Amino acid sequence: MCGIAGIWRPGGGDHAETAVAMAQAIQHRGPDDSSVWSDPAAGIALSHRRLSIIDLSAAGRQPMTSASGRYVICYNGEVYNFRELRKDLEAGGVQFRGDSDTEVVLALIDRWDVDAAIERLIGMFALALWDRHERSLVLLRDRLGIKPLYWGYIGNAIIFASEPRAFAAVPGFGNEIDQGALADYLRLNYVPAPNCIYKGLNKLEPGTKVRLDGTNKPEISQYWSLRDVAVRGGREPLSLRDDDAIDQLDDLLKDAVGRRMLADVPLGAFLSGGIDSSLVVALMQAQSERPVKTFTIGFEEKAFNEAKFAKTIARHLGTEHHELYVSPQDAMDIIPHLPEMFDEPFADSSQIPTYLVSRMTRQHVTVALSGDGGDELMAGYTRYRWADMTSRRFGSWPLSLRRMAANAVSALPNDVWNATGAVLPAGLSKGRLGDRVGRFCSFLEQPSADAIYHRQHTNWPRPDEIIAVDEGAGRAVGIPGLEADFPRFISRMQYMDAIGYLPDDVLTKVDRASMAVSLEVRVPLLDHRVMDFAWRLPFEQKYRDGEGKWLLRQVLNRYVPTEMFERPKAGFSIPVAEWLRGPMREWAEALLAPGLLTDSGLTGVGAIHSVWQQLLAGHDRFQEPIWGILMFQAWRLQQTKPNRPKIAIRGQQSQ
């Protein structure tokens, strides 16, 4: 795992020094080694930071030139089937200098071409490939967007990097905010690809490559499409008895996990005690001669603590388990560092526990496996059930009637709903009932099923009310033909999450939090072969009796008793709303000061303060929009005044 960066000015020039400075900005992604390759005549320089995982010798150093001398690669990732590919190449007469997967990828490209080579790879990767013959540059990102890649132009220079912080080292870079990207961020709490928060820059989308030949006409193409995979799976479904489906998924996942256990450095796994991480750990332990190292964090607040479940599963599987209980102050101490860590506005509050578990894990291992992706793979999110139920039960009502009903229900004070919830059974009263009713009413008001889905993800429905953008900016845009390709609403939600929320939120969170401590995280459930298999399954083998992940549960039950993992889904969350009303209130209100808001371009001060007051009054559903504003404010403050002392959280010294 590594960090990559580069610059190409087609007019020529020696840009090695700039490329080195770009890579130095992302040193945390690769602390073990660094190198640069440049061709002043062509005006290109590629730079690399290395986190040594496979072939720790100098033979694995990048940028690397192919045996033919034609290609130079700068590569971030891991290819898990490189040993089989190497054997095939050696049978054809190819000789290798070292034992790295990078050299195998180059040899494949030398033998065929980029497209034919990429088709053969199982793994996660983002790469830059310079063709010395054609003087062209190809940038490419893995199928599901596990690894990031940013690119764009500064003047006549073509630039790319693993993280946008690298671009500050390029002469002429201006940190002007793209208002359209900011509107998207305010809606989603992350910046969706292909947008970047900086004007003129882009994120490369999953499964996509861009070919640049020095003109201003980049050739962007999709070499792998999840939509094609899903539609083909619907048209050519598997016909398997339940037992056979369980067997096949068990074998496929065992292979996916086993491949990701290959490393020349210590390896372990995150274990939350949920279905996905427990299954990954179970399959690791089934293939390991020694106890697998597992890691979890716990919280003092009982409602947010799942460490006890992870410990029970670890004991059953016989892992070498490590756990760390985190106090509210431990977690809050991380918050001032989040803007620097994520390098773009990002406001999924589970970024905090993700960083904490990564930091603890890195003290013991260099590589960790994670269970991310299971919800998108097998329709596991609880919100799928609620959105589908709302659509089916109330979708036939006239919109005007639904809105009248929502208004009538909303008319009851929040305190009345919360008091009602206090006397209901625990399964019905989880959380504040008033907030759950408020969310339900917002869904009821939507004109269509897909609008319900988008409302679930929306924090600020009208970004134009708080920043200077056109009225439609930042609003969800439908994908043409989606309902025809995915007639079932839950399947549509799965697909939309897999191409948006998964790469732009979940995987971004894991990448930045883990790479901040130089930890490589591998995600076997997102092996593209597993994704293909899942989309070919009949829906009833994924979602049954109102519960998602049916087939994953059956596989896990072969290794772990049902009673150890069957419980309400909690998610990887922290009590942010309570902290904002308590020990973090002073910090939050400093960032929400009217002058500071307007300095950041947030002109809707009244609307923002109204939502803040709602949160202070106990309405937890306003946590996400406020957290988004706070994370943007903290990020913007760092961008505009990088030497300014950080605002202290109560009980913490300014740094």
Say if residue 131 is in the same domain as residue 280.
Answer: no
Say if residue 485 is in the same domain as residue 501.
Answer: no
* Mean of per-residue pLDDT scores for the chain: 90
Residue 615 contacts residue 575 (beta carbons within 8 Å): no
Q: Is residue 184 part of a domain?
A: yes
Say if residue 249 is in the same domain as residue 372.
Answer: yes
Predicted local distance difference test score (pLDDT) of residue 536: 97
Distance CA 579, CA 292 (A): 35
Longest dimension (CA), the chain: 77
Question: Distances in Å between the alpha carbon of 456 and those of 409, 441, 452, 631?
Answer: 19, 11, 6, 20
**SS3 track for 470-505:** CCCCCCCCCCCCHHHHCCCHHHHHHHHHHHHHHHHH
The number of domains in the chain is 4
Say if residue 220 is in the same domain as residue 96.
Answer: yes
Residue 127 contacts residue 140 (beta carbons within 8 Å): yes
Say if residue 535 is in the same domain as residue 593.
Answer: no
Say if residue 294 is in the same domain as residue 162.
Answer: no
Q: Note if the bond before 63 is cis, omega within 30 degrees.
A: yes
Phi, psi of 417 (to 5 degrees): -65, -40
Residues 6+ apart with CB under 8 A from 51: 1, 2, 29, 30, 31, 32, 366, 518, 520
Q: Tokens at residue 400, please?
A: 């005007």
Among 202-216, 468-482, 547-561, the range scoring the smallest mean pLDDT is 468-482
pLDDT of residue 196 exceeding 70: yes
Q: Is residue 649 part of a domain?
A: no
Say if residue 179 is in the same domain as residue 142.
Answer: yes
Say if residue 513 is in the same domain as residue 523.
Answer: yes
For 98-130, how does the pLDDT look when each residue is reduced to its tens digit (9 = 90+)?
A: 889 999 999 999 999 999 999 999 999 999 999
Say if residue 256 is in the same domain as residue 305.
Answer: yes
More confident residue, 344 or 329: 344
Distance CA 257, CA 80 (A): 10
Distance CA 464, CA 473 (A): 7
Say if residue 472 is in the same domain as residue 511.
Answer: no
pLDDT of residue 341 exceeding 50: yes
Q: Is residue 231 part of a domain?
A: no
Residue 330 pLDDT class (50, 70, 90 cuts): confident
The CATH number of residue 81's host domain is: 3.60.20.10
pLDDT of residue 427 exceeding 60: no
Predicted local distance difference test score (pLDDT) of residue 328: 79
Query: For a pLDDT cut of 70, what percent of the chain falls above it?
Result: 92
Reference 54, options 23, 86, 27; nearest CA is: 86
Q: Which residues are catalytic?
A: 2
Q: Is residue 654 part of a domain?
A: no
The CATH number of residue 315's host domain is: 3.40.50.620
Say if residue 153 is in the same domain as residue 250.
Answer: no
Predicted local distance difference test score (pLDDT) of residue 174: 85
Residue 303 pLDDT class (50, 70, 90 cuts): low
Predicted local distance difference test score (pLDDT) of residue 654: 32
pLDDT of residue 428 exceeding 60: no
Q: Is residue 112 part of a domain?
A: yes
Predicted local distance difference test score (pLDDT) of residue 175: 85
Q: Summarize the confidence of residues 538-546 as an average pLDDT.
A: 95
Q: Is residue 648 part of a domain?
A: no
Predicted local distance difference test score (pLDDT) of residue 570: 56
Q: Is residue 369 part of a domain?
A: yes
**Residue range of the domain that includes 429:** 382-493
Can you give the C-alpha Rg of the chain in angstroms?
25
Predicted local distance difference test score (pLDDT) of residue 647: 40
pLDDT of residue 171 exceeding 60: yes
For 26-55, how does the pLDDT look when each residue is reduced to its tens digit (9 = 90+)?
A: 999 998 889 999 999 999 999 999 887 776
pLDDT of residue 299 exceeding 90: no
Predicted local distance difference test score (pLDDT) of residue 421: 67
Last residue of a domain, one of 189, 224, 259: 224
Distance CA 3, CA 15 (A): 18
Say if residue 489 is in the same domain as residue 506.
Answer: no
The pTM of this model reads 0.93
